[in-house]
A and B are shown apart, each in its own frame.
Chain A
Amino acid sequence: GAGVSQSPSNKVTEKGKDVELRCDPISGHTALYWYRQSLGQGLEFLIYFQGNSAPDKSGLPSDRFSAERTGGSVSTLTIQRTQQEDSAVYLCASSFPAGHSTSTDTQYFGPGTRLTVL
């Protein structure tokens, strides 16, 4: 079946502009995660959704970052007033619902969106 998809694959923006990054999880996956991969910080967790709610937003670096999920499927990560330090690869992952199988703990990743802030 189809894996996690993300769009756009690349995004170049000017400092101060807003950007939206999209994630389509694997069909049937109720949990969705956003991570960021940057040279200086490595791979870091941003936010986690269970259905449409976000029980853990602890990794969002500032209030310029927000995310939502609708219909228990697609998620959008929004960065307002982008800064150069926001340049990174943003990765989305999803996993099976609890009780589905022993694979509930395995997160499957999309190809990422490379964000460059000029």
Chain B
Amino acid sequence: AQSVAQPEDQVNVAEGNPLTVKCTYSVSGNPYLFWYVQYPNRGLQFLLKYITGDNLVKGSYGFEAEFNKSQTSFHLKKPSALVSDSALYFCAFLHGSSNTGKLIFGQGTTLQVKP
């Protein structure tokens, strides 16, 4: 079955250090991949997506992600973490086509940024 996996339940990083939240995918064809963030008691906020083209995708709040086909990965990165980045992060792929597909999510990774 097609899926995305987030191998880490939690990532801890010090403020100002670079952060990486990992995501690997098992999706046939050309995957549409997404990252969403969820702050406490809030809905999901869209961060960025990879559809086609440049493997390095830039998104909101200084986040970026690199699509790596050979490693089937789509890791989320930020050069310098902020305490306010602490949240729950979800990787997802679109099962189906644009505007008609459903998102299939990974398990989520809690990012903890310490001052």
Contact = CB atoms under 8 A, between A and B. Distances in A.
Interface of A: 4, 30-31, 33, 35, 42-45, 48, 50, 55-56, 59, 91, 93, 95-98, 102, 104-112
- Most A-side CB within 10 Å, residue of B34, B44, B105: B44
14 contacts: A43-B103, A43-B105, A43-B108, A45-B102, A48-B100, A56-B96, A97-B99, A98-B100, A105-B94, A106-B46, A107-B103, A108-B46, A109-B43, A109-B46
B107 interface: yes
A98 B98 contact: yes
Interface of B is mostly: strand
Nearest to B42: A111
B49 A111 contact: no
Contacts of A106: 34, 46, 49
